[in-house]
Amino acid sequence: MLNIKNVSKTYSNNKKAVDNLTLEIKKGEIIGFIGPNGAGKTTTISMVTGIISPTEGTIEINGKDIRKEPIEAKKNFTFVPDHPTIIDTIKGIDYLNFIADMYEVDIQERKERIEKYTKLFQIYDALSQTINSYSHGMKQKLLISGALLPNPNLFILDEPMVGLDPHSAKTLKDIMKEHCDRGGTVFFSSHVLEVVENLCHRVAIIQKGELIVCDTLDNIKKNSSATLEEIFLEMTKYE
């Protein structure tokens, strides 16, 4: 589903934010992408989503190269960024209909999905309001609801739990599991290691732009009783 091969990103100041990263994510997997601040997580996700271009390497989504076939590649995923940046002078329902139009979601299906997800995230009654009246958490829920509308093959999230109340965080985790049970794929970054530990099929750890491990939690632990947090701190020497 997602194939990142020998990808690097070097900025104009010669700083290498991502260094020769290779990662393959298959259908039906939830992959947690973790690392210290500045390790290269958001840069990697920005390259995967086509926001920025890699200096080297290739990224394919369902066989479509994100640089050579950007439109076709982007039809296969939706993305929730780490900050709910959104045009806030329109109504919530207008934003959701715009997303549905972009992904050519059928009128009846969009109506059902909008009602389903916005009720699950408890923002249904606020859809007639302009987004600038929403709290940070409500904007995050709106972005997540919009990203779920197309029923994407690949669901990409950058720190999705930030700003969510416990009920909405649990709802999102359940949706992520259900999505993968239906053959979908989830790739997400998080600093909440407990969520990664309990949710993911595999965990990828990046440090200083380099992928230092990507494996199942059992293999990473190697029969150790340590938590993912303890292993992460040891691997990254994070203080």
Q: What is the pLDDT of residue 223?
A: 67
Q: Report the alpha-carbon distance of residue 95 to residue 106 in Å, rounded.
A: 16
Structural domain for 113, as ranges? 85-151
Residues 52 and 34 in one domain: yes
Residues 164 and 67 in one domain: yes
Q: Report the alpha-carbon distance of residue 229 to residue 239 in Å, rounded.
A: 12
Residues 123 and 230 in one domain: no
Residues 7 and 121 in one domain: no
Q: What is the pLDDT of residue 19?
A: 93
Residues 98 and 208 in one domain: no
Could you tell me where the beta strands, DSSP code E, fall in 99-189? 154-158, 185-189
Q: What is the pLDDT of residue 84?
A: 74
Residue (of 65, 77, 33) closest to 179 by Cα position = 77
Per-residue pLDDT of the chain (239 residues; tens, 9 = 90+): 899 999 999 988 788 899 999 999 999 999 999 998 889 999 999 999 999 999 999 999 999 999 999 999 999 999 998 887 788 899 999 999 999 999 999 999 999 999 999 999 999 999 999 999 999 999 999 999 999 999 999 999 998 888 889 999 999 999 999 999 999 999 999 888 888 888 999 999 999 999 999 998 888 888 677 888 888 888 887 54
Q: At which residue do the structure tokens 């990828």 appear?
A: 204
Residues 92 and 204 in one domain: no
Residues 69 and 97 in one domain: no
What is the CATH number for 64? 3.40.50.300
Q: What's the sign of the alpha-carbon dihedral 91, 143, 185, 53? A: positive
Cβ atoms 33, 189 nearer than 8 A: yes
Residues 168 and 225 in one domain: yes
Residues 232 and 136 in one domain: no
DSSP 192: -
Cβ atoms 82, 144 nearer than 8 A: no
Residues 4 and 92 in one domain: no
Which residue among 104, 122, 151 closes a domain?
151
Q: How many domains does the chain have?
A: 2
